[in-house]
Structure 1
Amino acid sequence: MSATRRPRAGRVRGVPRRPAWTATLTWKAAVFITLMCCALAALLGALVHVSVTRQTVDTSREKALSRLEDVTRAYEAGEPLPPFAAVDPVGLPPSLRGLAARGERGTMVADHEGRPTMWAAGPADGRALAVRVDYSLSARTISGLDQAILGSSVLAIGATLLVGWFAVTRVTRRLHLTAQVARRISAGDLDARVNDPRTKDPTRPQDEVATVSGALDTMASSLQGKLLSEQRFTADVAHELRTPLTGLSAAAELLPPGRPSELVRDRVRAMRALTEDLLEISRLDTRSETVDLDVYALGPLTERAVRASGTGTTVRVVRDARVETDRRRLERVLGNLLANAHRHGRAPVEVTVDGPVVTVRDHGEGYPAYLLEHGPQRFRTESGSKGHGLGLTIAWGQAAVIGAELTFGNAPDGGAQARLTLPEYTDLDADGDDAPPGG
């Protein structure tokens, strides 16, 4: 739980923000595969189109030139020309007519009477002798080939996208599982593991995702072992200190009255309080605490906790609300917050109840930067007053046990400000009468 609410990154004005799904690996892989398939299909289609078109045109050109040779021999022999041949025919392309006028032969594909035609022309007494070959079948063949290339390219791209989506989704699903487990571990679930089957069989080759999953599981196991060892050490030390402290406390009461005996009793009380705090933190760490939830009016409950603290704290109820909480643990949280405000802050200390939110504020120098950034830390305090940094740590842990949210911040005009938000109780079956608070 973060100690402060950081401002959300806003959108730069004038620059549209892309949807979140565009940043996913699946979308990027789909775009990459699509672009590569389109580029490959375009390249192969162009090569096939050029090759087949060249072959078809060469075949038609050879046929037209062969006919032109036959027609030229017939023209020179004075024989009548066939229907597909003529001298200076209508529809002969001007460029081909000029080529024949210069004494050269050539061919060209052009439309003749609305049909594609292969023309071949050569010189004949200063004029152009030309033959034509129907090119419609060849044109339809090339058009059909282009359509087949386009259709097969679309099918190939679709099939490749389907296979690529399946393969990428399997990888991203494993990555999402690894990220989910990492979030559970960061939230405190140290038993969470990825358990990728590829990491359990040493003979099975591992990919990069399996390597990351195995590393995360190993890190979680190591972290869990260290934390459990620390928790056991804290609990054992606290339990072992209880017995000698009890004897020391009894012995201190037997000392004759005086300043030395008062100092001894004061230190013994401080050590006993520290031991009890360590035991409470140990129980919070092991999550062995159970709650006794009930519905209470938050205003009177807060006033009672302030009176029990014995501090000169003012209470202001802006709007009362009924909350579902554990009264003993809530009083513990408020008591620790009040003690911290009076010990490390400056008067006046104010408690405000506004609906299900309780705010404890002092007028001191405010919380240190490390606390606002990372939350309370044990045995760390930057104040000149006495303290072990356990009060806020216990308050934070107890707030989490009762399902409340405890955040820390500094007021704009100075002073530390702790904000406790409790789950508000709503009675859906109430018939309009006010229920008795608590118990």
Structure 2
Amino acid sequence: MITRRASTTALVGIAVAGLASGCLSSGGSSSGSGGGAATASGPGKSSIEVEYGFGNEQETAFQKDLNKFASANGFTIKFTKSASWDTEIRARVAGGNPPDVGLFPQPGLMCDMAKTKKVLPYDDATVATDKETLVPGFVGAGTCADGKVYGLPSAVSVKSLLWTDQKAFAATGDQQPATLDDLLKLTDKLRASGKTPPWCIAAESGQATGWPITDWIEDLVLRLAGPDNYDKWVKGELKFNSPEIKPAFEYFQKIAFTDGNVRGGTKAIVATNFQTGGNALFDNPPGCYLFKQATFIAGKGGFPDAVIASLDTTAGVTAFPPKTVGDNPVESGGDLAAAFNNDTNTLKLRNFIASKDNGIEVAKAGFFSPHKTFDVSLYPNKTLQKIATDVLYKSSAARFDGSDLMPAKVGAGTFWTEPVKWISGQQDLDTTLNNIDASFPKASS
């Protein structure tokens, strides 16, 4: 459980979120790929190359799942790990030597390639079958501006989470917040109760400092503005300083800029490392009570080893609260399986990767299937099982990471750097939002 975003541009939770260039269709309402889907051709190659960018436990488990399928279907797989997905896949496609199947952590790059017919769409029947079990919203992540589905997720991360230390939080006598209003009230109560600040917030990530704040804002936009406006926002159809989007920043400001709310104070946010910034939850006495971060934080390199070893009895986790009780929007990320040719075995493998039947070994390694019918007992601990059942598979509207769906100039640029200046006290909120808006290229669809 590591992240790639710190070294490239995308966060890997228990899976990987991705960059994009803002050419996705809104909302994921498309249920098919139109009339241009590839038809399988030929007897099938004896070896299929699959390229991806993830590593460690996920890579090993991914290979086990695919090798079992390939063996049963009479072909082998060449696995190619990319150290820099964006650069390497562009070079291979430009050179006329793409892999057979690619796992895109960058839906927008996939859509750019789809415009020039470098990747092939799914057929309607496959999309319809997968859509029956996929978490609502995930088909939209791989749907490009032409309305066709070019990629479907193989594994996903969950970002809309609120972490606590079970015993320390229980000692406060408070309940987990049911709404965003409740979260503000809880924050105020915890601040007033003593010297321990309510929150740990951490945004330092070397050259990528600032990206953790985008996850905060995206979750808040998804809740306060709603899924439809979220889709418009990531495509540039709603400005950052619009009345629909600005309230998300104002909500974050109430938490992060109020004296006594954040461990170390507001300016410490951008100096505190994103991977270890929540570890103070488990100090004795606690250094904070609340920490918002994706599922990767419960893996090696995140929470302390002793916490991870006893995760189910030490760490508490719940969904980041909605605006209204009963809603459950979820921000997520994942790799999208796409095909570069219509060879029979290429399409067979691509379709398997995106299907509900894939991911048995990946789940055992702690990575989530995007299919809500998946057997949650396969996840290795009760904490992950709870995230799957109570958050991911009960999602009322799942959306991929917004900054990763924006043009890289914004999503991995000004959306990182301008809020850092704001949090550091170098500029006000309106200046921050206007600067991001000025950097947003016109939407290309």
Question: TM-score, with normalisation over the residues of structure 2?
Answer: 0.22
Asked which structure has the greater CA Rg, the reply is: 1
> Which structure carries more relative contact order (alpha carbon 8 Å, separation 6+)?
2
More helix by share: 1
